[in-house]
Amino acid sequence: MPARIEPCLALLQSKAPAGPDWAFEVKWDGYRLAVHRDASGVRIITRGGHDWTHRFPSIAAEAAELDAGSFILDGEAVVLDEAGRADFGLLQQALGGRGGKAKAERAMLFAFDLLYLDGRALTCMALIERRQMLEDLIDHESGAIRLSEEVEADGAEFLASACKFGLEGIIAKRRDAPYRPGRGGDWLKIKCIQSDTFLIIGYEPSSAALGGVGRLLLAGHGNYGLNYVGSVGTGFTHTSATALRKQLDRVTAASPAARGIADKRVVWVKPKLAAEIAYRGWTHDEKLRHASFKGLRENADEAPVYRVG
């Protein structure tokens, strides 16, 4: 069994594809994981190749009980809110925040692909065949490992329903495609609300705001270094803002990491912390519109930082 398989990644599109060649699922808002099991036990590997078995004990325990000798599951670890929606902030809290060491007992895995089963690599098989084998392996609707359901629907209608329910978006997958690493277009993501990863380059202290953080200044990668993309001042809880302020104060800098910005009220920081930010679009001068903080990204997750332009 391979020690690791590079993940297939979804390519962002503005609208859902149409036709019988495409299968649709909910886009889960969490951490991408590969769950390996063989004779030596269970390993849970992040997208960046880090072993996080100890961070997801409930998922590991259930993987040990699945009725197969060896397998590799591809899926997303999430924590659901009261309405049954995946909440990235709740997952981060369960893990103890960025750099935390907590065990996310509440996390569950929504499995959406099966890459290896009982001595046989499945990556060359069509998705529709892998999917059938996955459904045979995970035949329950509760517990720490659940099947990410395939939805029989028109793509545009499914996207509209997902957005109405407050989900992040949907995933479309070519039914006849093998499992290929990277963003080759076999998998597409269509979002209800934009959500991307940006680097924090500074913060504005505030005695009135939660945790003492009035707003965060953000940047993305540009052609000649980091580009300032605006700020975010909502989405924090007292707990998350307090923890964030402590982390930011450990990486302060004398000047901004992005060019073309100056503000005497801001404490500049080295661009070491990556934040997941939800937003509604871009202003005419290329700044985020209606941005909201969702949480910090772990290095182990290897979420790509947004590239401007």
Last residue of a domain, one of 191, 213, 239: 191
Does residue 177 share a domain with residue 59? yes
Neighbours of 117 (CB within 10 A): 20
Checking if the pLDDT of 220 tops 80, the result is yes
Q: How many structural domains comprise the chain?
A: 2
Residue 27 annotated as catalytic: yes
Q: How confident is the model at residue 209 (pLDDT cuts 50, 70, 90)?
A: confident
CA dist., res. 87 & res. 278, Å (int): 12
Same domain, 169 and 226: no
Question: Quick one: average pLDDT of 128-139?
Answer: 95
37 shares its domain with 141 = yes
Residue 98 above 80 pLDDT? no
Would you state the pLDDT for residue 33?
Answer: 97
Q: Same domain for 63 and 74?
A: yes
- Per-residue confidence at 208, pLDDT binned at 50, 70, 90? confident
- At residue 53, the pLDDT reads 96
A 10 A CB-CB count for 156 gives: 14
Indicate if the pLDDT at residue 150 is higher than 90.
yes
3-state secondary structure of 180: coil
Of the residues 27, 173, 191, 294, which is catalytic? 27
| Per-residue confidence (pLDDT) for residue 231, from 0 to 100 | 95
Average pLDDT of the residues in 249-263: 91
pLDDT of 140: 75
In degrees, to the nearest 5, what angle opens at C-alpha 3 toward C-alphas 44 and 196? 55
Q: What is the pLDDT of residues 69-78, one digit of tens each?
A: 999 999 999 9
Same domain, 180 and 230: no
Please tell me whether residues 204 and 181 are part of one structural domain. Answer: no
Q: What is the CA radius of gyration of the chain?
A: 20
- Whether residues 201 and 116 share a domain: the answer is no
Q: Give 270-297 pLDDT, tens digit per residue.
A: 999 999 999 988 888 889 988 999 999 9
Cβ neighbors of 105 (< 8 A, separation 6 or more) are 57, 58, 94
Compute the distance between CA of residue 162 and CA of residue 86 in angstroms, rounded to an integer. 12
Pair (224, 118) in one structural domain: no
Structural domain contains residue 35? yes
Q: Across all residues in the chain, what is the average pLDDT?
A: 92
Confidence of residue 302 (pLDDT cuts 50, 70, 90): confident
Domain of residue 131, CATH code: 3.30.470.30
**174: in domain:** yes
Residue 309 scores a pLDDT above 80? no
Residue 142's pLDDT band (cuts 50, 70, 90): confident
Answer yes or no: are the C-beta atoms of 73 and 114 closer than 8 Å: yes
What letter would DSSP give residue 264? Answer: T
Segment 76-90 mean pLDDT: 91
Determine the structural domain holding residue 210 and report its residue range.
Answer: 194-301
Judge if 151 and 206 occupy the same domain.
no
Say if residue 137 is in the same domain as residue 233.
Answer: no
